[in-house]
Structure 1
Amino acid sequence: MLFSRELLLLYGLAGIGMIGGSLFRPILPIFTRAFGATGFEIGLLTSGFMIARAFVSIGSGKLIDLGYSSRKLIRIGFGLVVILTFFFLSVKSYLGILLIRVGQGICSGMIWPSAQIMVGGFSERGYRTRALSIYQITGRIGMLLSRGILIGILMIGTRLGYSAHERYRLVFLFAAILLMGGFLESWFLKGKEKEMEPKDAGGFHFDPILPIAFIMGGLLSLQSIAILYFNEQFSIRPVDIVAILLIMDLVILVTTYLFSFIADRYGVKPALLFIIIPCVVAGLGFPFQRIASLSLLFWFLTRVTVTGFIPIARSYATAQKSGVGMSIGFLNMATNLGAVVGPALGGIIYDQLWGGFKIASYSILSLLLPIFFFWLRRE
């Protein structure tokens, strides 16, 4: 069942985890800046988190393939991330903040690949992609809710006369409490998912889905570059960009489920074709648009297709007959490493080129997709 007890708990876990994990992200750069951090050091917080998450994801997958409990990894990860988030209340230096973020990346690499494997294990093949899609959608809803909660906390702190630094500490406190709710919920996961024999997954098998995931992770992480582009090239105000992003995110909730339905009904590879063709067209056309509305449309198509790829790729990984944990682990690693490389590539191109070509990083990454997709189809 698409809404069985265990799946509902996992959907809820994704929502709570995303609220708690996303709540402090918008204020973290400002909070860190108060400790004298440079722009590079602030960027390193994201890179450190992603790199730690990437490599721990593989280790978590390997442990699960060898028979270690997904539930235990989720509980340990949530328990540690609660403690680490509480450390934000007393941190005194940039190095302390960096270590906390790397630690949170390690916890993320324990929690979310394990949860994805459990969603796959509790769902049948006929609706597995939709289950993973709903899991992702609840996470995105959690992220949207976190923005409203953040505004509320900051407003309350202001009314109480707290300084900016004290208000930020209050945000970290609420985030830790919310993550504690996720830790407590994880103890209610009792059902038995589909059996996967405890075994060594053997040697690493390179799958063309991995470079596709790397490229998609890179495209997804170019959002900050796109925001800068629209602000500078078309003079779109930040408040309007936020409103556009909100509308996009609401539409993406529907399109993500639609792509997942196609994958369940017709198969993963046909669904990927529906994703990759518009993604390539949008990526190639993006730099050549001189009208703001058309440029926004191409950006929207890119975001829709990239987001739709994620649950389909996870469904593909959980359908493997052996080494499911490692498949999920490597998939997460590829996406996370793409998210590290993407902004660096996008920033270099943005600084070196002019006009619409400042956003050519979308074109470069999109052009690589057909190569690996045709390789995947031959597998």
Structure 2
Amino acid sequence: MERMSMVKQPLRKLVLMPDEHIPLTRLALLFTVAFLCGVSMRLSIPFLAFSSREEFQTSMLIVSLLTVGFFSLRAVMSMIAGYLAEQKGMLVVLVVPATILNAVALALYIPLHSPALFIALRAIQGALSGLTWPLVQLVVACLVPSYLRGRTLSLYFAMGSLGLYLGDFLYYLVHDMGFEVGLALSSLIYLASVPLMYWGMRGGLPYAQEKSEDSVDEENVVDHDLKIVHCVAILGLVNNMIIGICTGSVIYVFMREALGIGRGDVALVLALAQLLALIMSYITAWIADLFTEKMVFIVLAIIGMNIPILLSAGEVTLVLLALAAASLVQKSLIPLTRRAATTYTRRRAMAVAEVNAAMNIGVCAGQLLFATLYDYVGLATVSLTNAKLLLVPLSFELLSLPYAITLVALLRAMRKSITQ
């Protein structure tokens, strides 16, 4: 079947057929970058969170700003990066310097040792990450045919998840060595990714203009594509408000105070959750192979809606399951949303940027809401069927309704686009 051409964009390259060359070396380099940067970023977070909370005695709201500052600036810059990539074709020019500056920012935490400066540096890192990762994801997606994008992005994010696992485990091993050693190590690991990033981002995008065979016709593309992208963005926002409480800086402090365990043990539990989620992700991959990606969306939504209940139990095993479920939903939903953004639309860079920005905003909103409630309510509990549940995480169960409504709208839009 002859593939339909897309509207000309500045990033336009020759459209290759699926049996032609796929640049495996570049993919391997970018997968390695995701792994190394995952290790580096995850290693730094508990050092900053525990230092702010325990050394400087800050509120949970201040601790949450470490994550909010990062994700809010990343959301803004991801939109700018998408525009520059789409209109100017600026990939290596943006990504490589941003990666270098991110490594420098990690080193600056050592001399600039205060909560206010921590927040400022995290915001700078967020802006730099916004210039980096949407473009890297776009390149990864456009290095393979559309029918391989889901699997390729899943593998890319799996490498990042392995990095997160190793980052938490590395913190467990080195947390007694002190703040300076931890941040210096984090900076060096991030810096090691720079040459790999440079070579991985160089070159063309052989499948940048390829359109999937189940996408809409050219004359119908605008209305349906926009609806799908917007639904994906809203779904990502609501989803990340829920699972966002299981990520970032607040979860380290929450687990230490709610479970009464040590800092190293907190990181170890989070590392085990990452590993468990990686194993569980094969289940969603099996569902996607056996059924459709729509079924995966439904399964992930059901899991996501139950995370607040598990987290509110305040027991190590159930909290571990909640963290693993949150990580599973995140690592499974991200490639699904990115694949939808790059398959059902012509403006792929902006679509990825919009979805990325919405998911970042969701994390920010979830973190701020959780931290504010925690500062006022603390570890207060409510009794339900003879079980005492922590009120703050349980309150996030209220987001299940907008989650379900948005999911239904997305599935309808996807079905309508395919039948056009």
Q: How would you bin the TM-score normalised by the shorter chain?
A: 0.7 to 0.9
Q: Distance in 2 between matches of 1:150 and 1:285?
A: 28
Match of 2:347 in 1: 323
Match of 1:193 in 2: 205
Match of 2:276 among 220, 245, 251: 251
Match of 2:150 among 129, 142, 147: 129
Query: What TM-score does the superposition give when structure 1 sets the normalisation length?
Result: 0.82
Q: How does 1:137-152 map to 2 (within 5 A)?
A: 137-152=158-173
Match of 2:389 in 1: 356
* Alignment check: 8 A CA contact 2:134 2:356 kept: yes
Q: Distance in 2 between matches of 1:266 and 1:347?
A: 39
* Alignment check: 8 A CA contact 1:222 1:343 kept: yes
Match of 1:378 in 2: 412
Shift of 1:6: 1.3
Aligned CA distance change for structure 1 residues 336 and 79 (closer, same or farther; 3 Å): same
Shift of 1:178: 1.3
Structure 1 residues 51-97: Cα deviation after superposition (integer angstroms, max 9, x where no partner): 10111111111111114232332212102112222322322544433
2:333 is the alignment partner of 1:309:
yes
* Alignment check: 8 A CA contact 2:68 2:367 kept: no
**Letter of the structure 2 residue corresponding to residue 326 of structure 1:** M
Q: Distance in 2 between matches of 1:44 and 1:288?
A: 22
Match of 2:232 in 1: 209
Q: Distance in 2 between matches of 1:89 and 1:288?
A: 35
Q: Distance in 2 between matches of 1:154 and 1:278?
A: 32
**Letter of the structure 2 residue corresponding to residue 216 of structure 1:** N
* Alignment check: 8 A CA contact 2:345 2:351 kept: no
Shift of 1:267: 4.2
Q: Distance in 1 between matches of 2:280 and 2:127?
A: 31
Shift of 1:320: 3.3
Moved more, 77-86 or 295-304: 295-304
Match of 1:57 among 75, 78, 84: 78
Q: SS at the partner of 1:356?
A: strand
**Letter of the structure 2 residue corresponding to residue 180 of structure 1:** L
Moved more, 10-19 or 297-306: 297-306
**Ranges in structure 1 where 5+ consecutive residues have no aligned partner:** 158-166
* Alignment check: 8 A CA contact 2:270 2:320 kept: no
Structure 1 residues 254-306: Cα deviation after superposition (integer angstroms, max 9, x where no partner): 333443454467543232123223434x3586599799867865665455334
**Letter of the structure 1 residue corresponding to residue 297 of structure 2:** L
* Alignment check: 8 A CA contact 2:96 2:197 kept: yes
Match of 2:45 among 20, 25, 36: 25
Q: Distance in 2 between matches of 1:295 and 1:86?
A: 32
Q: SS at the partner of 2:44?
A: coil
Q: SS at the partner of 1:91?
A: coil
Moved more, 16-25 or 305-314: 305-314
**Letter of the structure 2 residue corresponding to residue 181 of structure 1:** A
2:369 is the alignment partner of 1:345:
yes
Q: SS at the partner of 1:127?
A: helix
Number of positions where the alignment pairs a residue of Structure 1 with one of Structure 2? 363
Q: Distance in 1 between matches of 2:154 and 2:121?
A: 30
Shift of 1:357: 6.2
Shift of 1:371: 0.5
**Letter of the structure 1 residue corresponding to residue 183 of structure 2:** F
Q: Distance in 1 between matches of 2:365 and 2:207?
A: 36
Moved more, 87-96 or 52-61: 87-96
**Ranges in structure 2 where 5+ consecutive residues have no aligned partner:** 1-20, 210-220, 383-387, 414-420
**Letter of the structure 2 residue corresponding to residue 149 of structure 1:** L
* Alignment check: 8 A CA contact 2:165 2:270 kept: no
Q: Distance in 2 between matches of 1:320 and 1:368?
A: 23
* Alignment check: 8 A CA contact 1:15 1:138 kept: yes
Q: SS at the partner of 1:252?
A: helix
Q: SS at the partner of 1:331?
A: helix
2:360 is the alignment partner of 1:336:
yes
Aligned CA distance change for structure 1 residues 76 and 314 (closer, same or farther; 3 Å): same
Aligned CA distance change for structure 1 residues 263 and 57 (closer, same or farther; 3 Å): farther
Moved more, 186-195 or 350-359: 350-359
Q: Distance in 2 between matches of 1:14 and 1:50?
A: 17
Q: Distance in 1 between matches of 2:182 and 2:252?
A: 28
Shift of 1:219: 1.7
**Letter of the structure 2 residue corresponding to residue 214 of structure 1:** L
